[in-house]
Amino acid sequence: MAGGQKTDEALIIIDVQNDFCAGGALAAGGDNAFIDKINRLTETCDNIILTQDWHPAGHVSFAAAHAGKAAYDTVETAAGRQILWPTHCLAGTEGAAFHPALRQDKAALIIRKGTCRDYDALSAFCDTSGRPTGLAGFLRERGFEKLSFCGLMTDFCVSCSALDAVKAGFKARVALAACQAIDINGSYARALTIMRRNGVELGLLA
């Protein structure tokens, strides 16, 4: 272990994939400066986990999979209300690959989520059917109690993951400067409020 690093802390880097970055199919907007901030965070933590949004063709979250629907419409599904997105992060494609600027070498685990056609998974912990990804089990078995989150999108996958972390009994912090939001109809402000209310610590400086 590198000197002084905490063994009960892990950094979870959410969905830093080409499709969510500038120029991608579902770009969160802004430039990619947040990736440099993430890379700097990886220097302060030895326990790194990456997640990847990883959808099959015809995934329930794709607007194109629903006749007459457009991106950002919502539909009711068996698992509740689903927001529809442009087709993104198709498993195995360049769009689903990690952004080339992201430092991946220290990652101990890569969690892929949204792999089942009928359920979305904004959270790194489980999909909308409640099926766990296995992340909580990994974290518990390795003794990680304090989790920091960064990546994309602050107002969707990052906030859902941090909220689920608190529900699962972990301490959760979001490094806002190392995140990027998409901000649809006030989703960013709403996510910040919900996270604050539920005990997620918001770090203004990465």
| Binding region for ligand VGL (CB under 6 A) | 15, 20, 53, 61, 85, 122, 152-153, 156-157
Residue among 37 and 142 whose Cβ is closer to ligand VGL: 37
Which member of 150, 157, 160, 179 is catalytic? 157
Question: In the annotation, is 15 catalytic?
Answer: yes
| Pairing mode of beta strands 9-14, 48-53 | parallel
With a CB cutoff of 8 Å and minimum separation 6, the contacts of 9 are: 45, 47, 144, 145, 146, 147, 148
Q: For the segment 89-118, give every residue that binds Zn ion (CB under 5 A).
A: 114
Q: Is 19 in the site for Zn ion (CB under 5 A)?
A: no
With a CB cutoff of 8 Å and minimum separation 6, the contacts of 133 are: 111, 112, 113, 121, 124, 125, 126, 127
Among positions 19, 53, 127, 155, the unique one binding Zn ion when judged by CB under 5 A: 53
What is the DSSP-derived secondary structure letter of residue 140?
H
15 binds, among ligand VGL, Zn ion, none (CB under 5 to 8 A by kind): ligand VGL
Between CA 82 and CA 119 the distance in angstroms is 9
> Cβ of residue 160: shortest distance to ligand VGL, in angstroms?
8
Residue positions annotated with a catalytic role: 15, 113, 157
